Amino acid sequence: MSEMLTGGNPAQGVPTPPTQDDPSGRKWTWEEDGCTVIRSNARSGPGCHDNCGVLMYVRDGVLEKIEGDPENPYNQGRLCPRCLAFKEMLYHEDRLKYPMKRAKEDRGKNAFERITWDEAYDIIEREMKAVIERYGNEAIWVTQGTGRDINGYGPLMAQYLGTPNYGTGFLSGQACYAPRIFSTALKAGGLFVCDYAQFFPDRYDDPRWEAPEYILVWGNNPVVANSDGTLGHWIVESMKRGSKLMVMDPKLTWVAGKADVWFQVRPGTDAALALALCNVIIEEGLEDKEFVSCWCYGFDEFAEHVKKYTPAFAAETCGVPEDLIVEAARKIGRAKSCCLQWGVAMDHTSEGFITGMACFDLMALTGNFEKPGTMVAANPVWDMSVTWMPREKVWEGCSEPVKDQGRTMNFKYPALKAMAAISPDMLLEAMETGEPYPIKAMFMMQNNAIACMGAQPQRILPALQKMEFNVVVDLFLTPTALACADVLLPAACFAERIGITGHQPYALG
Ligand code: SF4
């Protein structure tokens, strides 16, 4: 159970690896130059959306160095500086190492007292049961941040506690990744991503793959940021094999500097650009007529709708040259293949959702789906949903099934159902007002809401301190943990535990 909650015990160092090799015959572990080499997958500490293969070189139970696993098709031996510098985090003197408790009246003070795991579990069990008894299971909120190593466990914890309220908090409007996920989920029933041969074990050498003719990099700095299931290396590898770039970014990033077309748009205006590209493609008859007639609904209405979003309109709105818009639309319309590499910059604008929809329409209009080098469906591994849960199986198998799924804290915002996540805005209101029902206990995993994702700490801090019981699991004593934890558990990261890790929904390790 301790591994379920916290991912292991950082006080115990790197665990003994399992002895069996993986199904493809790659060895889990071997001896090399006096070190035990352990093959694993990274995803945490300090937090990342990817799932790169790593080789950990361990001497006498201490991690000596970490390198990319050349046999892992996802990253093919490469690592970014976060994992290369991983030891700094792993052995940082401020890491939490032991379970601790604190009296409720001392919230906000560094007055924690070390306790045993058994005592921690007893307190958690007693307090959670008391909240359930008084207010119902849905009064418990299970939350996570971007310390993503625990993604597989948060939803399970919510299930075991019988609450429908699981999700990030307090990311107002779910303004990170969700707008892109929703755009594709609502329009096409799933997540579609650019085809970088990531679904082939031998990657770029697979004869079924062709490099995209154009990669449309939209509000994304992939070579630097490496996020949301894309490694910047993949774009560079595609470029080496002929892919050309179109980049939509107010900044001259590395990829913008290498692009055929660079749209230096005014921030937050790019929906107009996407619609103007659609306008030109339809005006000039460059849409993929067969794809549109077989797979798209509402083309005539859409064509009518985009008539007013002319290149002249977009040029004035976005601050980019009109002829550049026309030139880019023709390139996209005539390309053999094109895919969209979109980023979080889109999500962080109030127009992120509709911009995502417009970009997705641009890909559909030009038939850039399910062909080599286009947008491909990222089918969930083992039918994992975007909340990293096997959709049906886990729900059925849980010992404490959710009492009332209709009570999920998202019913004012039905689109959030596409992500099976709660609305952070509704949740905060409920914590403050008790409406539509009270939220009284929190189980928080690696979420530093006050200092990071929460846009309104002046509301979040009193709301957290008003709760009847808070458990926080984290790597460090964060401002959020200091503000509100009654029980504070040390999180372990991938080098310290055996478990599952993965990028939703298509890469597991
Ligand atoms: S992308 Fe993530 S998993 Fe990959 S090397 Fe960087 S931090 Fe590690």
User: Is 244's C-beta closer than 6 angstroms to any atom of ligand 1?
Assistant: no
Q: b/e per residue, 437-474, with b = 16+ CB within 10 A?
A: ebbbbbbbbbbbbbebbbeebeebbebbeebbbbbbbb
Give the fold, CATH level 3, of 192-377: Dimethylsulfoxide Reductase; domain 2 (3.40.228)
State the distance from the centre of ligand 1 to the C-alpha of 90, rounded, in angstroms.
15
Instruction: Assess contact for 295 and 369: CB atoms under 8 A.
Output: yes
493 lines ligand 1 (CB under 6 A): no
Other C-beta atoms lying within 10 Å of the C-beta of residue 35? 18
Nearest to 154 by CA among 403, 446, 379: 446
| Ligand 1 midpoint to CA 78 (Å) | 9
Q: How far is CA 98 from CA 9, 93, 119, 229, 488, in A?
A: 8, 13, 12, 32, 8
> Could you tell me which residues come within 8 angstroms of residue 404 by beta carbon, excluding any fewer than 6 positions away?
138, 164
For residue 51, how far is its CA from the centre of ligand 1 (angstroms)? 7
The CB of 43 under 6 Å from ligand 1? The reply is: yes
Tokens of residue 105, six digits = 């009246």
CB atoms inside a 10 Å sphere around CB 208: 8
Question: Among 56, 65, 83, which is best to mutate for testing ligand 1, by the most ligand atoms less than 8 A from CB?
Answer: 83
Strands 100-101 and 441-445: unpaired
For 53, the 3-state DSSP assignment is strand
Token duo for residue 441: 């206990």
Out of 79, 87, 146, 148, give the residue to mutate to test ligand 1, the one with the largest number of ligand atoms within 8 Å of its CB. 79
Indicate which atom in ligand 1 lies nearest the CA of residue 75. 4
**Spatial contact of 191 and 386, defined as CB atoms under 8 Å apart:** yes
Level-2 CATH architecture, domain 2-94:
Single Sheet (2.20)
| Strand ranges of the sheet holding 244-248, from the earlier edge strand across to the other edge | 261-263, 244-248, 214-218, 338-342
Q: Which residues pair with 194 in a beta bridge?
A: 375
* 3 state DSSP class of 376: strand
Facing residues of 62 across strands?
A: 59
What distance in angstroms lies between residue 20's CA and the mean position of ligand 1's atoms?
25
Domain boundaries, the chain: 2-94, 100-174+382-490, 192-377
Longest dimension (CA), the chain: 71
- Contact between 218 and 341 under an 8 Å Cβ cutoff? The reply is yes
**Atom of ligand 1 at shortest range from CA of 82:** 7
- Residue 49 Cβ < 6 Å to ligand 1: no
Find the 224 Cα to ligand 1 centroid distance in Å: 11
Whether ligand 1 lies within 6 angstroms of the CB of 96 is answered as no
H/E stretch holding 214 reads strand 214-218
CA–CA gap between residue 373 and residue 390 (Å, rounded): 29
CA distance 394 to 383: 10
Reading the chain (509 residues) residue by residue, the pLDDT tens digits are 333 333 345 555 666 655 566 667 788 899 999 999 999 888 765 567 788 899 999 999 999 999 999 999 889 999 988 899 999 999 999 999 999 999 999 999 999 999 999 999 999 999 999 999 999 999 999 998 876 667 667 877 888 888 888 887 888 777 888 788 777 877 887 788 999 999 898 999 999 999 999 999 999 998 888 767 788 999 999 999 999 999 999 999 999 999 999 999 999 999 999 999 999 999 999 999 999 999 999 999 999 999 999 999 999 999 999 999 999 999 999 999 999 999 888 888 888 888 999 999 999 999 999 999 999 988 666 555 545 555 454 444 443 444 455 677 777 776 666 666 788 889 999 999 999 999 999 999 988 989 887 888 999 999 999 999 999 999 999 999 999 999 999 998 888 887 776 655 567 77
Ligand 1, atom 4, residue with closest C-alpha: 52
Taking alpha carbons only, the member of 496, 445, 482 closest to residue 152 is 445
Does the beta carbon of 470 sit less than 6 angstroms from any atom of ligand 1? no
Angstrom distance (rounded) from CA 121 to CA 240: 53
Distance between CA atoms of residues 360 and 380, nearest Å: 20
CA distances (Å), origin 489, targets 196, 301, 440, 475: 39, 55, 19, 9
Query: What's the start-to-end Cα distance of the chain, in Å?
Result: 20
**Phi/psi at 147 (nearest 5 deg)?**
-80, 80
Could you tell me if the CB of 89 is within 6 A of ligand 1?
no
Tell me, in angstroms, the distance from the centre of ligand 1 to residue 146's CA.
13
Nearest CA, atom 5, ligand 1? 79
The residue to mutate among 41, 51, 52, 74, having the most atoms of ligand 1 within 8 angstroms of its beta carbon, is 52
User: What dotted CATH number matches 100-174+382-490?
Assistant: 3.40.50.740
The atom of ligand 1 lying closest to the CA of 68 is 5
Residue 441 CB less than 6 A away from ligand 1: no
Of 396, 361, 354, residue with least CA distance to 375: 361
